A = this chain, B = another copy of it.
């Protein structure tokens, strides 16, 4: 019989951990002195502890590990837990790899520009949403405000607006005519009897913020597109804008729908 310290030293595990595993019933001490509370372990328990540590190192929680350590785990339950773990791990790996790519893109950017970026680009996925839509050819980007007010006027006053936005189906870079779809986003649950409700599908976007009326918005667009390309995406749809609060005068979030290139 070994005292906890010796057992811990043999197993290269902290005493704290052993006590914790004992409390949780994961690896109960073989014997506990009633009067002193001293825990005593058996060398044979090294094998159990070894199993425990293996499961832990696979990423199982202590609760799951306890189940796996149970006297006889039916094979199908074991397999289920393993496949669940595989799924979770695969997801984690994908996430961490994406993060790593993001960080590397940022390092490259800092080394190129010698400082923090002027515009912060985020790649993220957008939930599908519900909106009232009004699409027109315009001569100026400012016309979107008028379109938004028009939509709003058609809406019962008590219906709350979640967000104002627009999709620029064609921008002035491709000709004199601008093709603008003004969007008034509504809450998912409030679905008024308005006729032209549009379901805006979710997607992955490159997103960047700028102040409404800023002069160098082109820089923001370029930053977003460059970052997206650097991360292996390509632009897969018309640019969108989301306005914070009021239809004009505030922060604008620009989004470029993406798909993996």
Using a CB–CB cutoff of 8 Å, the interface residues on chain A facing chain B are 2, 6, 9-10, 43-44, 46-47, 50-51, 53-54, 57-59, 73, 75, 78-79, 82-83, 85-86, 89-90, 92-93, 96-97, 99-100, 102-104, 106-107, 110-111, 114-116, 120, 122, 124, 162-163, 207, 209, 211, 244-245, 250-251, 253
Report the separation of the CA atoms of residues A165 and B89 in the bound assembly, to the nearest whole angstrom. Answer: 36
Would A110 and B79 count as touching, CB distance under 8 A?
Answer: yes
| Contact with A107, one of B59, B79, B211 (Cβ below 8 angstroms) | B79
Q: What are 22 A-B interface contacts by the 8 Å CB criterion?
A: A10-B244, A43-B245, A44-B211, A44-B250, A50-B122, A51-B120, A53-B122, A57-B102, A57-B122, A57-B124, A58-B99, A58-B106, A75-B115, A75-B116, A78-B115, A78-B116, A79-B110, A86-B103, A86-B107, A89-B96, A93-B96, A96-B96
Q: Which 9 A-B pairs have the closest CB atoms?
A: A43-B244, A43-B250, A89-B100, A75-B115, A47-B209, A46-B251, A93-B96, A43-B251, A86-B103
Are A44 and B93 CB-contacts (below 8 A) given A50-B209, A122-B57, A162-B9? no
User: Given known contacts A53-B122, A58-B102, A89-B99, what 16 new A-B pairs fall within 8 Å (CB)?
Assistant: A6-B245, A46-B251, A50-B207, A50-B253, A57-B122, A59-B96, A59-B103, A75-B110, A78-B110, A78-B115, A79-B111, A85-B103, A86-B104, A89-B100, A90-B100, A92-B96
Report the separation of the CA atoms of residues A254 and B120 in the bound assembly, to the nearest whole angstrom. Answer: 53
> A10 to nearest B CB, angstroms?
6
Q: By CB atoms of chain B within 10 A, which of A78, A82, A110, A122 has the most?
A: A82
Report the separation of the CA atoms of residues A157 and B96 in the bound assembly, to the nearest whole angstrom. Answer: 52
Would B10 and A163 count as touching, CB distance under 8 A?
Answer: yes
> A226 to nearest B CB, angstroms?
16
Would B122 and A47 count as touching, CB distance under 8 A?
Answer: no
Report the separation of the CA atoms of residues A106 and B68 in the bound assembly, to the nearest whole angstrom. Answer: 13
Report chain B residues within 8 Å CB of A85: 103
Report chain B residues within 8 Å CB of A9: 162
Report chain B residues within 8 Å CB of A58: 99, 102-103, 106
Report chain B residues within 8 Å CB of A209: 46-47, 50
Would B245 and A54 count as touching, CB distance under 8 A?
Answer: no
Report chain B residues within 8 Å CB of A103: 58-59, 82, 85-86, 89
Report the separation of the CA atoms of residues A164 and B223 in the bound assembly, to the nearest whole angstrom. Answer: 62
Report the separation of the CA atoms of residues A46 and B243 in the bound assembly, to the nearest whole angstrom. Answer: 11
